[in-house]
Amino acid sequence: MGDVEASSANPKRAQGRLCSICGAKRPALKRPKTLEEICRECFYNVFEDEIHKVIVENNLFKCGERVAIGASGGKDSTVLAYVLSELNRRHSYGLDLFLLSVDEGITGYRDDSLETVKRNEIQYGLPLKIVSYKDLYGWTMDEIVKAIGLKNNCTFCGVFRRQALDRGAALLKADKLVTGHNADDIAETVLLNILRGDIARLSRCTYITTGEDGPIPRCKPFKYTYEKEIVMYAYFKKLDYFSTECIYSPNAYRGFAREFIKDLERIRPRAILDIIRSGENFRISTFTRMPEQGTCKRCGYISSQKLCKACLLLEGLNRGLPKLGIGRTKGHNGVNKDDEQQKISHSREKGSSLQSKQCGTLDF
């Protein structure tokens, strides 16, 4: 909770000063997004009101919809479940909310975090559905890592999770799936897409709703919510969440982008919102070829290829050729066909870049 304490208002300096919003109470914290010194109640209000505003202005939900909350037990999805049920009650959204968790089969990590989600089910009174890789694909991540080692494990996990969430949401007959991706996650993805030169994904990764042409649209109500504020909110509200990192988490490129954004935020808190704004304002060239949408011949899941990425990876695992789905074949002009295919498939499955990120400590 170092972040929370570091960002809290200095009690000595704050003496005599009053909350810059209500002007009545002593400030309890310095708001990371604006650096205003405010009291706890005003923090809860601005935090929740901003999310409500984002939901209303972007028409994220319709009255009567069944909404599945992707719940990992981590801070983002726990706060999302809590705030969404509060707002649903307070503003009469008329939503049926559910928790949806994916059990990747990672001993010592997911089994523990799922215990948190099971407690959240009771605490918030939201029905919980758990779908597992073992049931869906016949493999746990522990078994996959045993077979393929610690390289590319997150590619398997990311592809399987994306589909598992869709399948779980379909079992719940959900109209929408919401995820806890926050402003820092989105800024980080914008930056990574710039660093990779992936212009096609650059503008899409900032969409608040994606997959409207797919089986179940996904929304990110925390698109403008700062990670530090989510941590503060969870801390002050004493929410029950799990904060351990995945034991197979890679310490890679994304980590550096994350640190860079945190450094920028320290100097200028608005930097996170400005990076998102930049991503939103990029335009894809009209010459960019967008592939035709289709369905996987084997499982029926959305895919631009004959077989979806999950089926391809699974076939590789089952045949003892784990590199099959991530193999690198050169095309006639030296272009990496797999990279090309992957890029096209990402263009197809609108907004998939965020979901396919290597999660590390991130929620899905």
Q: Per the annotation, where are the binding residues for ATP? A: 70-72, 76, 102, 180, 185
Under the binding rule (CB under 6 A), the answer on residue 28 touching ligand SF4 is no
98 or 156, CB closer to Zn ion?
156
Tell me which of Zn ion, ligand SF4, none is bound by residue 169, counting a contact when its beta carbon lies within the kind-specific cut-off of 5 to 8 angstroms.
Answer: none
Q: Is 163 in the site for ligand SF4 (CB under 6 A)?
A: no
CA distances from 26 to 1, 5, 32, 51 (A): 21, 16, 17, 25
CB distance 42 to 59 below 8 Å: no
In the list 9, 21, 29, 100, the residue contacting Zn ion (rule: CB under 5 A) is 21
Q: Is 93 in the site for ligand SF4 (CB under 6 A)?
A: no
Cα distance between residue 119 and residue 125, in whole Å? 10
Q: Which is nearer to ligand SF4, 249 or 353 (CB)?
A: 249
Query: At CA 54, angle to CA 77 and CA 267, rounded to 5?
Result: 75
Using DSSP's 3-state secondary structure scheme, residue 63 falls into coil
Q: How many CB atoms lie within 10 A of CB 340?
A: 11
First CA to last CA distance, the chain: 22
Is 358 a binder of ligand SF4 (CB under 6 A)? yes
* Candidates 19-27, 174-182, 245-253, 264-272; binding stretch for ligand SF4 (CB under 6 A): 245-253
Task: Kindly state the smallest distance separating residue 194's Cβ from ligand SF4, in Å.
Answer: 22
- Which stretch in 14-22, 171-179, 241-249, 258-266 sits in contact with ligand SF4 by CB under 6 A? 241-249
Binding-site residues sit at: 70-72, 76, 102, 180, 185
Instruction: Give me the amino acid identity at 138.
Output: G
Find out whether 163 and 355 touch, Cβ atoms under 8 Å.
no
- Exactly one of 55, 81, 84, 141 binds ligand SF4 (CB under 6 A); that residue is 141
C-beta closer to Zn ion: residue 126 or 302: 302
Residue 30, beta-bridge partner list: 37
Distance CA 138, CA 317 (A): 10
Number of residues that bind ligand SF4 (CB under 6 A): 12
HEC string of 211-261 equals CCCCCCCEECCCCCCCHHHHHHHHHHCCCCCCCCCCCCCCCCHHHHHHHHH
Instruction: Decide which of Zn ion, ligand SF4, none touches 359; Cβ closer than 5 to 8 Å per partner kind.
Output: ligand SF4
Considering the complex, state which of residue 252 and residue 321 has its C-beta at the smaller distance from ligand SF4. 252
Query: Which residues sit at the interface with ligand SF4, rule CB under 6 A?
Result: 104, 141, 153-154, 157-158, 246, 248-249, 358-360
